[in-house]
Amino acid sequence: MTDQSQPDAVVAEEPKPAPASGKKGLVVALVLVGTLALALGALSAYLWTVHSQYVAQNEELRAEAGDLGADVAASRAKAEELQTQVEATLAQLDEAKETINGLANSEAQAGDDRQALIDVADGLQECADLRQDMIDHLNEAYKWTASSLRAREADITTYCKKVTRAYKEIVDD
Amino acid sequence: MTSRRIGAATLAVLIGSTALAGCSALPQGPDPLPSTFIPRVSASASADAGLVGGFAALERDALRVRVRTCDAYGTGSAFAIDATHAVTNAHVAEGATDITVTGYDGKSYRVTSSVLSREADLALLTIKDEFPNLVTLADEEPAIGDTLSIAGYPRGEALKVTSGPYFGETEDTVGEADDRVYQIDAETHPGNSGSAVANDDGDVVGVVYASDDVHATFAVSLPTLKNFLDNLDDAKRNRAECESQG
């Protein structure tokens, strides 16, 4: 009979060494994590640099926009001022033009009148000469027939009336 | 073991590829700013650039004509085509014993001789001095609907510019030529005879010679004017023979 109460002898097993593949996996994982951390660090640095560049340029653009806005405002104010001056000058120019036009017209009308008066004066002088000639004829009336003297007088009278009428027209105008 | 290595290598490749692919999607830095944001613009010519003393070219070209005949006075308009010659109507100059033309500024010029067209209502005046303002004849006739401008001295009074559309042609009812003349919807009066008719460019396309005093002005056409100027040898001298009273 065997004592069944006694346990069977247990053969103690020696601890197994950690498998090599597990260590390597850990190393690989650590390397990967490290690499990833480095990559993320580099990416962050890059993004920070780009961000800084944009921020700097944004500030530069804002300053430029401010300057341009000030220039535009100054230019608009100057343009409005000049526009006002141009309008005033054009109004003066219109006025001056009207004055020149009016003066030129007055001069032309005066020239017309002067020419007419000169012609009337010439006509009146001619009339006087003709009448003096008539007087001379009458002083020597024996040389002429009465009918020729009457005809001559009628011609001179007609002419002188025409000149006188022209003179009156000028004066009435 | 081998399968794990393969898995790790694959993972590394995937991470590497993803990282490389991601680089292309990364934002780039800003482009450098341009040296200036202000575009270069050139000033446009003002519509009033042709004004001298407030007078447009067509106004400066207009001449007032004063004519004395044996027994009357008359006025008309004219325009200078070169330094010593001006064009007006034959009916303005015909029978003149004395002709004086005056510019927009009041300066006067004594006409020394004149010739008349045998066919159209045109005359050419010659002066001793020199005209300062000359017109340019257009290269082409106006088209129906074109707005034409007329500068002259209606009723012998102040210089006036009027304009209106060129609306048609008709037969010349005044001259002796079998010719067509322009009809313009513009108000002119006696005294406007001889006025230049100008197109939008300010070039002369005709010469006013008649109107109905309301809104129809008749003008000698451009070909007729050019034909007259090209054949001045055919023109007749303008002479007045007055009866003497003596």
pLDDT in tens, B132-156: 999 999 999 999 999 999 999 999 9
Which position has the higher pLDDT, A89 or B1? Answer: A89
User: Which of B26, B37, B103 lies at the smallest CB-CB distance from A46?
Assistant: B26
Handedness of CA B165, B166, B170, B176 (dihedral sign): positive
Å from B15 to nearest chain A CA?
8
Q: Using alpha carbons, list the distances in angstroms from residue B131 to A165, B64, B77.
A: 37, 13, 15
**B232: buried, middle or exposed (CB in 10 Å: 19+, 13-18, 0-12)?**
exposed
Would the CB atoms of A130 and B51 count as touching at under 8 Å?
no
pTM of the model: 0.72
A68 touches chain B (CB under 8 A): yes
Contacts of A28 in chain B (CB under 8 A): 8, 12
B39-48 exposure pattern, b = at least 16 Cβ within 10 A, e = fewer: eeeeeeeeee
pLDDT in tens, B83-125: 999 999 999 999 999 999 999 999 999 999 999 999 899 999 9
Q: Of all residues in chain B, what percent are helix, strand and coil, respectively (each to 5)?
A: 20, 35, 45
pLDDT in tens, A99-122: 999 999 999 999 988 888 898 999
**Could you tell me which residues come within 8 angstroms of residue B245 by beta carbon, excluding any fewer than 6 positions away?**
A126, A130, A155, A159
pLDDT in tens, B167-210: 999 887 665 666 789 999 999 999 999 999 999 999 999 999 99
Interface of chain B against chain A, CB under 8 Å?
Answer: 1, 4, 8, 11-12, 15, 19, 22, 26-30, 33, 37-38, 48, 51, 53-55, 64, 66, 68, 73, 75, 98, 100, 102-106, 108, 153, 156-159, 245-246
φ/ψ of residue B183, rounded to 5: -115, 125
Which position has the higher pLDDT, B179 or B75? Answer: B75
Å from A94 to nearest chain B CA?
6
pLDDT at B49: 57
A54 touches chain B (CB under 8 A): yes
Would the CB atoms of A97 and B66 count as touching at under 8 Å?
no
Would the CB atoms of A93 and B54 count as touching at under 8 Å?
yes
Contacts of A105 in chain B (CB under 8 A): 157-159
Handedness of CA A151, A154, A156, A159 (dihedral sign): negative
pLDDT at A126: 93
Tell me, rounded to whole angstroms, the distance of Cα B197 from its chain centroid: 8
- What ipTM was estimated for this complex? 0.74
Would the CB atoms of A43 and B26 count as touching at under 8 Å?
yes
Contacts of A97 in chain B (CB under 8 A): 53-55
Query: Could you give the 3-state DSSP secondary structure of residue B102?
Result: strand
pLDDT in tens, B23-58: 677 888 889 888 888 888 887 655 555 777 778 899
Nearest-CA residue of chain A relative to B106?
A104
pLDDT at B171: 82
Å from A143 to nearest chain B CA?
19
Q: In chain A, which residues have pLDDT < 70?
A: 1-20
- The whole-angstrom separation of Cα A4 and Cα B59 is 145
User: Which of A36, A103, A130 lies at the smallest CB-CB distance from B106?
Assistant: A103
- The whole-angstrom separation of Cα B221 and Cα B142 is 9
